[in-house]
């Protein structure tokens, strides 16, 4: 344990001296920007979540969270591994051959646009059945708004890939500030106005998602302007990909696409299944606890995104040494964070959400263990992806997603024999067990 603490102190010392030399220095610099971006995003999201949760109260907040989870769940076709493929292939070529990197970008971006359009169409066609038949909850108009919200959210962040591949994390930091400032200054006022003027929950949620779409659109426009002015591809002409390079992309994307689909199920199936069985207020309690953990986990996992471009460039013992050092530091910080959340959960819920969400305390304490699994999963995934060992990730994620569905079905229905509160606890346990099973697989297979 003392060695890990010394490494943390060494990193702090290098930041103070502004010593960013070598791969370790580049990783520290990237991590600093990534942490700043993640902190901005998560603090902004947390403040936004606190605001709307207090304004809406558990019932409407639960419906809002259910609609959001469903939109993202139904957007399963949006990526199909294109994002990781872009990051990997552009990172490998943008310094040595920017024209080829531009070729990768142009080749893949057209498929990304088609997938986003397909996802929007799926949302429109399934919205009525999902809201009225499956959930039997008033979120139909909110799901329709998702056909606009989803493309705008993707547009706001997709150009990040180019800058990250160049080890330039500054534009995404500024973009995040723009989105959070607009969202925090405008949306709460809109919520207050609509609460007074609109009696329909469906219309109310619809306009909330439309306004949020506008926030993401503005952030995306900023990145587009920066990309046009900074010329990350150095004004080089696009080099078209040959058949061998296209086949290599396909071989890379195929397992990643399975991973992407499984990841969507893994990430949202708990709320999708809960939405069918429990009332809106219980969804609100669950989401209040989970969102706090997700925000904290994203901060802890930010180093994984920062070191990804470094991992791509490294091999052999240097890669192993860098990975192990990052893993030790991540684990140490995660353990301390989990203990802190478990002990202070009552105070956190009271301060953040208010007395109306006191039922979330027990769920927050249970979810504290995810602060250990989330960051490590992110780190291992970055490692496997950077080394093109994506089949391992996809296989494990499929198994974990199936396990998650199975456990959620069993535990939620067992909990319903007692109360909706116990059903929510069942979903918590299913989420925790399946994620630690996934992490265990990642750890074991890396040793082989």
User: Domain residues of the chain, as ranges?
Assistant: 2-446
Phi, psi for residue 169 in degrees, rounded to 5 = -95, 0
Residue for token pair 């499956």: 134
Cα distance between residue 9 and residue 174, in whole Å: 28
Cα distance between residue 227 and residue 211, in whole Å: 25
Residue 133: HSE in the Cβ half-sphere, 13 Å Cα cutoff: 5
The pLDDT of residue 28: 57
Enumerate residues 6+ apart whose C-beta is below 8 A from 238: 99, 102, 103, 106
Token pair in block for residue 331: 């684990």
Angle between helices 82-93 and 302-313 in degrees, nearest 10: 50
Terminal Cα distance for the chain, rounded = 26
- Nearest of 237, 310, 222, 271 to residue 430 by alpha carbon: 271
How far out from the chain centre does Cα 273 lie? 20
- Nearest of 436, 441, 446 to residue 311 by alpha carbon: 446
**Distances in Å between the alpha carbon of 30 and those of 54, 220, 334?**
35, 21, 20
- Contact at 8 Å (CB) between 249 and 241? yes
Exposure of 94 by Cβ count < 10 A (0-12 exposed, 13-18 middle, 19+ buried)?
buried
In this prediction, the residues of the chain whose per-residue pLDDT falls under 70 are 1-35, 79, 165-167, 231-234, 255-256, 259, 301-320, 322, 385-388, 390, 446-448
- Contact at 8 Å (CB) between 262 and 401? yes
The CB density around residue 199, as the number of other CB atoms within 10 Å, is: 9
Cα distance between residue 87 and residue 161, in whole Å: 6
Token pair in block for residue 255: 């397992």
- Contact at 8 Å (CB) between 322 and 274? no
Token pair in block for residue 90: 């552009």
**Distances in Å between the alpha carbon of 380 and those of 164, 431, 443?**
19, 19, 8
Token pair in block for residue 350: 């009271």
- Nearest of 263, 168, 176 to residue 218 by alpha carbon: 176
Per DSSP, the three-state class of 368 is: coil
Length of the chain in residues, anyone?
448
The pLDDT of residue 408: 92
The CB density around residue 101, as the number of other CB atoms within 10 Å, is: 27
**Distances in Å between the alpha carbon of 339 and those of 68, 263, 332, 334, 376?**
30, 27, 11, 9, 16
Cα distance between residue 359 and residue 241, in whole Å: 55
Cα distance between residue 425 and residue 157, in whole Å: 34
The pLDDT of residue 9: 45
Cα distance between residue 285 and residue 68, in whole Å: 15
The pLDDT of residue 99: 76
């Amino acid at each position: 344990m003392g060695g890990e603490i010394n490494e943390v102190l060494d990193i702090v010392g290098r930041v103070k001296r502004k010593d960013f030399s070598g791969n370790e220095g580049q990783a520290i610099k990237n991590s600093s920007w990534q942490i700043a971006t993640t902190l901005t995003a998560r603090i902004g999201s947390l403040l936004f979540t606190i605001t709307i949760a207090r304004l809406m109260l558990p019932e409407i907040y639960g419906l809002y969270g259910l609609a959001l989870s469903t939109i993202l769940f139904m957007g399963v076709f949006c990526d199909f591994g294109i994002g990781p493929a872009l990051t990997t292939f552009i990172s490998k070529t943008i310094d040595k051959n920017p024209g080829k990197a531009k070729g990768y970008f142009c080749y893949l971006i057209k498929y990304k646009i088609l997938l986003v359009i397909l996802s929007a169409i799926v949302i429109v066609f399934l919205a009525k059945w999902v809201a009225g038949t499956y959930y039997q909850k008033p979120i139909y108009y909110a799901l329709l708004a998702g056909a606009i919200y989803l493309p705008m959210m993707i547009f706001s962040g997709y150009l990040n890939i180019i800058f990250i591949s160049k080890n330039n994390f500054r534009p995404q930091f500024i973009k995040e500030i723009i989105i959070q400032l607009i969202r925090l200054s405008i949306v709460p006022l809109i919520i207050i106005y609509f609460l007074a003027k609109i009696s329909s929950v469906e219309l109310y949620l619809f306009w909330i998602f439309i306004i949020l779409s506008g926030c993401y659109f503005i952030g995306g426009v900023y990145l587009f302007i920066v990309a046009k002015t900074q010329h990350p591809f150095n004004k080089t002409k696009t080099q078209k990909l040959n058949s061998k390079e296209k086949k290599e992309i396909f071989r890379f994307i195929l397992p990643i696409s399975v991973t992407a689909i499984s990841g969507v199920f893994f990430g949202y199936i708990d709320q999708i299944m809960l939405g069918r069985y429990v009332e809106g207020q219980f969804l609100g309690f669950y989401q209040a606890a989970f969102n706090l953990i997700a925000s904290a986990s994203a901060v802890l996992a930010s180093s994984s995104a920062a070191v990804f471009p470094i991992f791509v460039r490294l091999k052999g013992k240097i890669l192993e040494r860098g990975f192990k050092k990052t893993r030790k530091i991540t684990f140490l910080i995660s353990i301390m964070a989990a203990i802190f959340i478990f002990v202070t959960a009552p105070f956190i819920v009271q301060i953040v959400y208010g007395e109306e969400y006191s039922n979330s305390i027990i769920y927050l304490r249970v979810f504290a263990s995810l602060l250990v699994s989330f960051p490590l999963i992110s780190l291992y995934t970055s490692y496997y992806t950077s080394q093109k060992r994506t089949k391992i990730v996809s296989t494990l994620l499929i198994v974990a997603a199936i396990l998650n569905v199975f456990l959620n079905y069993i535990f939620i229905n067992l909990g319903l024999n007692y109360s909706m509160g116990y059903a929510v606890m069942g979903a918590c346990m299913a989420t925790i067990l399946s994620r630690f099973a996934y992490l265990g697989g990642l750890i074991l297979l890396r040793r082989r």
